[in-house]
Amino acid sequence: MDYVRDFFTNLAHSWTIWLSTWLPPWATNLINYVIIGLVLVMMPVIATLTLTWMERKVVGRIQNRIGPNRVGPWGVFQALADAVKMLIKEDIIPSGADKPVFNLAPILIFFAAALLWAVIPFGPKQVAADLNVAVLYVIAVGSITTISVLMAGFSSDNKYALVGAFRSVAQLLSYEIPMVLSIAAVTLLVGSMRMGTIVEAQTIPFALVLPATFIVYMLSAIAETGRSPFDLLEAESEIVAGFFIEYSGLKFGWFYIAEYGNTLAIAAIAATLFLGGWRGPWVSEVPVLGPLYFALKTVAIVFVIMWIRGTWPRFRIDQMLGLAWKVLVPASLVNLLWLAVVLKLPVPMLLQWVLALGGNLAVLVGALTLLGRSAKRDSARQVLTVRSQPSESA
């Protein structure tokens, strides 16, 4: 029973002991590192196989359908069937393409999605690389995605791909700034960029201390992964696929896998930064609950992301960039400024957190009021133009 109580640590421990009975220490270490690396690299693939099924079921239910139900019980093997379909498709390279760059882009984008998992803590002390700059690393890895999007768009030798890449990068760069600012707020509150320290500091989940920051992070993270309602680069129901229009077969699959891997990764990062990661009741007595809580929180966030996809209409590009630059950036700047002032006040920590919460709520109310006013003004203007048009033509 004691073994099960901290199952993952004990399993790793006995595995290492078993290996070291017949292998030198360096080989044991090497094998362990390779196993950890393989598991983390497989995370985006696992995410794709599970999340595509979940997404179809969730969106199906939202749209009053039942979703996939033919392949296996409740259609759980639908993703495998799609994977086989993707594997046996023809690999087409456009004749004008810049071949090495064209082939490198899908590999790089997958690489970026897999690298994110290196700093995510699954449980107490269960993190592949406990970097002391972990949150900065997350943002830096995101910039590899930007580069591979540009590479894919440019090397395809296709005008639509190039325009798609432009729009995609404009979106990625714009939403990187509110994302950095929201993560900076958490870093400021904790005083560390190490993921483990951030989780341990959350006696109250930061989503309850910094609700506005949490919302800004979620919006910009959804935009960074290019999911609905920010999916106008792909807009699968209306236009062609944007920057990866020329890719087919498994190379298209890599972009698909990277998208779902990124979705799960940003959900896991949101759970770590704002929902207390592996923290929960009885974790200190039964550490095996840590990864379970972490997984539950992550899946809950993924569900919310899918819920948003199922119920929200798509933005126009000017609305989307406007939201980033005119709403999210000023709101998070004000928020960050208030937080910096509060943290320097000579009062107990709990009071600081209450003040931070007050500032957050004020920012939230202020932003929503201003947004509502501008929406009202816009709709009034539209009514005016609609009314004035017939008189002009007459």
Partner 1 sequence: MLQAVFIVLSLVTLGSAAMVVTSRSLFRSALWLILAFFGIAGIFILLHAEFLAVVQVLIYIGAISTLIIFAIMLSRNAMDVKGQRFNEQWGVVAGFSILLFVILLALLTRVQWHVTAEPVPPDAIARLGGAFVGPYVVPFEVASVLLVVAMIGAIIIARERE
Sketch the per residue contact string, 181 through 220, with partner 1: x for CB under 8 A, - otherwise: ------------x---------------------------
Going by C-beta distance under 8 Å and a sequence separation of 6 or more, which residues neighbour residue 60?
66, 67, 68
| Torsion angle of C-alpha atoms 300, 303, 305, 311, degrees rounded to 10 | -140
Strand-pairing partners, residue 126, are 123
Cβ 173 to partner 1, closest distance in Å?
7
> How many of the other CB atoms lie within 10 Å of CB of 328?
26
CA 153 – CA 304 distance, rounded (Å):
30
Identity of the residue, 133 or 368, whose beta carbon is nearer to partner 1 in the bound complex: 133
Nearer to partner 1, 99 or 373 (CB): 99
Report which DSSP code applies to 96: T
Question: In angstroms, what is the minimal distance from the CB of 167 to partner 1?
Answer: 12
375 to 394, contacts with partner 1 by CB under 8 A? none
Q: Which of residues 99-128 bind partner 1 (CB under 8 A)?
A: 101
Cα gap 319→322, rounded to integer Å: 5
93 scored as a contact of partner 1 (CB under 8 A): no
Nearer to partner 1, 193 or 233 (CB): 193
Nearest of 180, 191, 176, 170 to residue 333 by alpha carbon: 180
Dist CA 157 CA 96 (whole Å)? 6
42 or 343: whose CB is closer to partner 1?
343
132 binds partner 1 (CB under 8 A): yes
Q: Which is nearer to partner 1, 52 or 187 (CB)?
A: 187
Q: How far is the CB of 241 from partner 1 (least distance, A)?
A: 19
Does residue 325 bind partner 1 (CB under 8 A)?
A: no
Of the candidate residues 45, 59, 128, 144, the single one contacting partner 1 (CB under 8 A): 144
Distance between CA atoms of 289 and 271, rounded to whole angstroms?
15
110, 122, 137, 230: which one binds partner 1 (CB under 8 A): 137
Q: Which of residues 155-184 bind partner 1 (CB under 8 A)?
A: 157, 162, 166, 169, 173, 176
Whichever of 19 and 101 has its CB closer to partner 1, that residue is 101
**Residues 288 and 5 sit within 8 Å (Cβ to Cβ):** yes
Q: Which of 154, 247, 294, 338 binds partner 1 (CB under 8 A)?
A: 154
Nearest to 358 by CA among 150, 255, 211, 190: 211
- Residue 254: burial class (beta carbons within 10 Å; 0-12, 13-18, 19+): buried
Which residue number, 180 or 305, has a Cβ lying nearer to partner 1?
Answer: 180
Rounded-to-integer distance, Cα 221 and Cα 72, Å:
33
Least distance to partner 1, CB of residue 12, Å: 25
In whole angstroms, give the CA distance from residue 230 to residue 208.
26
Nearest CB to partner 1, comparing residues 112 and 327: 112
- Give 105 or 301: the residue with its C-beta nearer to partner 1: 105
Assess whether the previous peptide bond of 229 is cis (omega < 30° from 0): yes
Stretch that binds partner 1, among 138-146, 289-297, 322-330, 381-389 (CB under 8 A): 138-146
Q: Which residues bind partner 1 (CB under 8 A)?
A: 98, 101, 131-133, 136-137, 139-144, 146-147, 150-151, 154, 157, 162, 166, 169, 173, 176, 193
